[in-house]
Amino acid sequence: MARKRRGSGKPTIMDVAREAGVSAITVSRALRTPKQVSDKTRTKVDSAIRALGYTPDPAAKALASHRSDIIGVILPSVTNSVFQDTLRGIYEVAETAPYRVQLGNTQYSAAEEERLLRGLLSQRPAGLILTGVDQSASTAGLLRGADFPIVQITEIGPAPFDMMVGFSHSQAAQLAAEHLVAAGYRRIAFLGARRDARSTRRLSGFRAVLEAHGLYDPGRVLFSEQPSSVPLGAAQLGELLDMDPKADAVLCNNDDLALGALFECQRSGIDVPNAFGICGFNDIDTMAVTHPALTSVRTPRREIGRQAMTMMLARLAGEDPGPTTRNLGVDLMPRASTARAA
Amino acid sequence: MARKRRGSGKPTIMDVAREAGVSAITVSRALRTPKQVSDKTRTKVDSAIRALGYTPDPAAKALASHRSDIIGVILPSVTNSVFQDTLRGIYEVAETAPYRVQLGNTQYSAAEEERLLRGLLSQRPAGLILTGVDQSASTAGLLRGADFPIVQITEIGPAPFDMMVGFSHSQAAQLAAEHLVAAGYRRIAFLGARRDARSTRRLSGFRAVLEAHGLYDPGRVLFSEQPSSVPLGAAQLGELLDMDPKADAVLCNNDDLALGALFECQRSGIDVPNAFGICGFNDIDTMAVTHPALTSVRTPRREIGRQAMTMMLARLAGEDPGPTTRNLGVDLMPRASTARAA
DNA sequence: ATGAAAGCGCTAACAG
DNA sequence: CTGTTAGCGCTTTCAT
């Protein structure tokens, strides 16, 4: 045994080349750009690969090409249900392609986002999907002129780094607020959990509409330090009614808060929708089956994920991704929880 | 310009070595095994690293060492709420360590699990966390004698590949079934969504208890092709009462089914708990705030994730991971939905 | 405690 | 369409 043999035992591209009677680079090309290899050669290479059970080594590929097969996906929270559907859409499309998704959690922190991004950049990602439009200046600096595709998701705004797919959170909240006003509610509150850029934009949409009707009262806006949850919604509804017993409706920044609010009303014997209206946000599938069913704003979360990854893959394949900024819009889903007898 | 210069422009370990006046290998050791380097040298290296803004290249490291910094995490579903909490626990601990989590979705398919595992193995993972104890024979073949730590999570069973942390699903269901019987229900049904190994084990626990009391009726066991959801629970409750109008309680295989069942009872005017008892499984935080509050079996999902990753990191650091097979147990959380007047 | 040389498995660059 | 050569940035091996 020669003393310098460090091989892993697994077949390498050289083994395949030998077996097929060609050079290593030809195997490499047969794998990456099959069109540049003759049919005959490709067939020989393919069967050599199968015969040996060859699998390319991603580390060697990344080292030699300065490009990994990693698509970074940076989200505020990997485990928040709001991002579940988006993540599902991302994975559904990603699983059809030869890339790996590398997830990162910012925990709603711009500093953490930058830290994650730096870690990702050291891996020379093939592409990046990230959330929102509120990156810090130094994060933006790292991203401007990046040599890989970038998709910003969930929101839309001016000056994308590259591509963008989402909807206007302010408009979405306006739609809900208009609905509550039109339904006849007058003392409408806003419940939110931990405040972030998107919830702030939703509040501003809500506020604009209520002010236009002369109905806005900052005393009926509640945020929390806690993450969004059903118990929080229940607690906040109690708090609201302590502060303003005459409040007659809530726009909840998240469906789970709306669910909690509904349970609290049931417990307190408050008549929904006649004495009190409830509107959620996102329209998770639970909303349609509660009793009474809950009004919500349907957001295209899964479609955002699907389209983001589809655009990404098109770019990576050198194809036309189509429109690079996409506002997917939202739909109001009026249900019993805001259908007042009049 | 020499024509063969392919460098990435980023500082390499050689640049650091030059700056610090040492050799590349010394920089490498200062980074990986600081104790093997003198204080003086380490200081010089550290400041050179800072001066240059050096970041190690993970691909080069993986190629040279035959070991990446990837910890694979293979779950049936990345976006199923049941695994959210486990995933959160995993990330909470992982984020403290210099490893990357690489997620994989089996979509409840053993074949997909094997495919994912093969992809992961080509990356020479530092470790692997995977779900359950029902791997296919060929998956097991790939894992027996693997040269990295493995933790199986969510279930416990005989013959772990390496380490294991979870609970007995059969025992958990027994606990719930005993509770329903003790509460005075007699025509107890079982609602489940898509059937997998764990739901099958829960059913067997349920069945064993009911049979011991002479109460088991297979006509009151419902499964579905669909994934678990609140609307499914509502639909299944309707189906159950069509088939057996005298059914007087359900053990739901998942909390979302129990929620759906509750809403359906509210809609139909069925008195919970006096006319009908409902028990869920997992005890998500919503259960405590519904009206009436829902009984459930609390499962240690987050703790499973935390302990799995903690054991993993201990192994990777060459430390003692403590007990390598851990049954974390479950707790019955009795609430109003099964508190019959008597 | 530190270093020199060789090599990990692959692809970029250039050539034919 | 195919091949040769020289690296990518790091760690292993062996030596001092």
Task: Answer yes or no: are the C-beta atoms of A338 and A271 closer than 8 Å.
Answer: no
Q: Which residue is nearest to nucleotide C6 (CA to C1')?
A: A4
Residues of A in contact with B100 (CB under 8 A): 102
Residues B195 and B185 in one domain: yes
* Nucleotides of C strand lying within 7 Å of any protein CB atom: 1-14
- Asked if B250 and B265 sit in the same domain, the reply is yes
A120 and A187 co-located in one domain: no
Rounded distance between C-alpha atoms, residue B167 and residue B171, angstroms: 8
Report whether pLDDT(A161) > 70. Answer: yes
Query: Do residue A259 and residue A294 come from a single domain?
Result: yes
> Domain for residue A342, yes or no?
no
- DSSP characters over A18-48: HHHTS-HHHHHHHHH-GGGS-HHHHHHHHHH
The domain that holds A248 is classified in CATH as 3.40.50.2300
| A residues 183..222 contacting B (CB < 8 A) | none
SS3 A282: strand
How high is the pLDDT of residue B2? 39
Largest CA distance in chain B: 90
Q: Which domain holds residue B137?
A: 67-167+302-328
Residue A311 to residue A164: CA distance in whole angstroms: 9
**Residue A315: is its pLDDT beyond 70?**
yes
Residues A163 and A308 reside in one and the same domain = yes
Is A3 part of a structural domain of the chain?
A: no
Q: Is B319 buried (19+), middle (13-18) or exposed (0-12) by CB count in 10 A? A: exposed
Classify residue A130: in a domain, yes or no: yes
Of the partner residues A81, A229, A290, the one whose CB lies closest to the CB of residue B263: A290
CB-nearest to A63 from B60, B84, B229 is B60
Tokens of B289: 């705030």
Contacts of B91 in chain A (CB under 8 A): 78-79, 105
8 Å CB contact between B132 and B303: no
- A156 within a domain of the structure (yes/no): yes
Each residue's pLDDT tens digit, A76-109:
988 788 899 999 999 999 999 999 999 999 999 9
Of the pLDDT bands very low, low, confident and very high (cuts 50, 70, 90), residue A2 is very low
Answer yes or no: are the C-beta atoms of B287 and B280 closer than 8 Å: yes
Residues A95 and A145 occupy one common structural domain = yes
Q: What is the dihedral of CA A272, A274, A278, A283, to 10 degrees?
A: 80
Best mutation target among A73, A80, A286 (most B Cβ atoms within 10 Å) is A286
In this structure, the answer to whether residues A182 and A285 fall within a common structural domain is yes
- The torsion region of residue B28 among left (phi > 0), alpha (psi -120 to 50) and beta comes to alpha
Residue A324 CA, nucleotide C9 C1', distance (Å): 37
Give the torsion through C-alpha atoms of A262, A263, A269, A270, to 10 deg: -20
In chain B, residues 307-326 whose CB comes closer than 8 Å to chain A? none
Same domain (yes/no): A289, A318: no
Mean pLDDT of A51-64: 95
CA B129 to chain centre: 9
The total of structural domains in chain B comes to: 3
- Provide the whole-model pTM: 0.94
Task: Evaluate whether residue B209 is within a structural domain.
Answer: yes
Q: Distance (Å, rounded) from C-alpha B175 to C-alpha A107?
A: 37
Q: Read off the pLDDT of residues A62-78 as tens digits, 9 standing for 90 and up.
A: 999 999 999 999 999 88
Query: Which chain A residues in 40-69 lie under 8 Å from chain B, judged by CB atoms?
Result: 55-60, 62-63, 66, 68
The reply to whether A6 Cβ lies less than 7 angstroms from strand C is yes
Residue A8 lies in a domain: no
- Kindly state whether residues A163 and A207 are assigned to the same domain: no
Q: Mark whether A125 and A49 lie in a shared domain.
A: no
Does residue B231 belong to the interface with chain A, where contact is any CB pair within 8 Å? yes
Are B137 and B255 within one domain?
no
Note down pLDDT in tens along chain B; length 342 residues: 334 556 778 999 999 999 999 999 999 999 999 999 999 999 999 999 999 999 999 999 999 999 999 999 999 988 788 899 999 999 999 999 999 999 999 999 999 999 999 999 999 999 999 999 999 999 999 999 899 999 999 999 999 999 999 999 999 999 999 999 999 999 999 999 999 999 999 999 999 999 999 999 999 999 999 999 999 999 999 999 999 999 999 999 999 999 999 999 999 999 999 999 999 999 999 999 999 999 999 999 999 999 999 999 999 999 999 999 999 999 999 999 999 986
A189 and A275 share one domain? yes
Minimal CA separation from A215 to chain B, in Å: 31
